[in-house]
Every structure is written in structure tokens, then in C-alpha cells.
Amino acid sequence: MRAALAVAARNVGATGDNPSVGCVIVKNGAVVAEGVTDVGGRPHAEETALAGVDARGATAYVTLEPCAKRTSGALSCADHLIKAGVARVVIAARDPHPFADGAGVARMREAGIAVELGLLEDEARAQNADFFARWDKG
Ligand SMILES: [Zn+2]
């Protein structure tokens, strides 16, 4: 997760209204891919990390809960992770935005992915403090 936070740090402040998220894919004990929310807010970190890598059976470390819905109607990051066949997703912080808000976690668990929440949560929240201040109404 430290690696994912370091990846996310690259675009903090450059992703518009979206938070800067980091995603690292680990397979057989090695990092095989990484992604950060692109400048302007899209593509999302998970999309970039999953592009062009065989993530079947891998673990994804994500600094924010993957989205369950997109304004564009495109496939959400939760769906991308399911489609890629990822076995385990470790998340730093729950996403308070209505397009996630627990729904990303629920969708992945329903699909049989082992989901863990809360690893280095304080660091992840501090990284996108403005985003959490805007959406997290407790
Ligand atoms: Zn997303």
C-alpha cells in the first residue's frame, strides 16, 4: 500500500474534482503493474493499472475504494477488477462519493473477490483531504 500511496502522490492536485488514486497490482509476490488517476481525473488508476496486464489471481492495492458507477456510463473500476479476475483487493479508504460509498466493495465481494479495507487509511485520507472534506458527511 505504501507503493500505491507513492504512485497516487504523483497526481495529487492535478486530477480536478476527482481524488488522485494509486493502484498497484501484485502477482506472485512481484509488482506487475501500477496506475494513478490521470491528470484531469480520468482514466482512473485501476483502469490504467489493469490495461495490458494479466491480473488473473493477482492482488490489487488501491488507495481508495474502486468506483461502482461512472458518470460516463463506462465500466466502473469495480467491474474492471472483477473482469480482470483479480483474487484480492486491498483498499486504504472507503470512497464517500455516492458512486462508490460501499457499493464498490459490495460488488467485488459478491463476485467472490476477497476485499480488505482500512490499510494505511489515515495516510490515504490525508493525501486527498479536500475530496474527503467535500464528500464525507460522516
Ligand atoms: Zn473508478
Please report whether residue 83 resides in a domain: yes
pLDDT of residue 71: 84
Please report whether residue 1 resides in a domain: no
Please report whether residue 85 resides in a domain: yes
Amino acid at 62: V
pLDDT of residue 26: 98
The closest of 22, 81, 36, 87 to 59, measured between CA atoms, is 87
Those residues whose C-beta lies under 8 Å from the C-beta of residue 75, and which sit 6 or more positions away, are 83
Would you say residue 81 has pLDDT above 90?
Answer: yes
Q: How far apart are CA 29 and CA 44, in angstroms?
A: 24
- Ligand 1 centre to CA of 82 (Å) is 13
Would you say residue 138 has pLDDT above 80?
Answer: no
Those residues whose C-beta lies under 8 Å from the C-beta of residue 40, and which sit 6 or more positions away, are 14, 15, 16
Ion ligand 1, residues whose Cβ is below 5 A away: 44, 67, 77
Number of domains making up the chain: 1
Please report whether residue 87 resides in a domain: yes
- Ligand 1 centre to CA of 130 (Å) is 18
- Ligand 1 centre to CA of 55 (Å) is 17
What is the maximum span of the chain, computed from C-alpha positions, in angstroms? 39
Q: How far apart are CA 127 and CA 17, in angstroms?
A: 14
Q: Which residues are catalytic?
A: 46
pLDDT-derived band of residue 43, with 50, 70 and 90 as boundaries? very high
Domain with 45 in it: what CATH number?
A: 3.40.140.10
- Ligand 1 centre to CA of 76 (Å) is 5
Q: What percent of the chain has pLDDT over 90?
A: 93
Please report whether residue 92 resides in a domain: yes
Please report whether residue 136 resides in a domain: no
**84-117, pLDDT tens digit by residue?**
999 999 999 999 999 999 999 999 999 999 999 9
Mean of all residue pLDDT scores within the chain: 96
Domain range for 38: 6-131
**18-42, pLDDT tens digit by residue?**
999 999 999 999 999 999 999 999 9
**Phi, psi (5° rounding) for residue 48?**
-65, -45
- Ligand 1 centre to CA of 51 (Å) is 13
Please report whether residue 86 resides in a domain: yes
Please report whether residue 137 resides in a domain: no
Q: How far apart are CA 82 and CA 75, in angstroms?
A: 11
Q: How far apart are CA 96 and CA 23, in angstroms?
A: 18
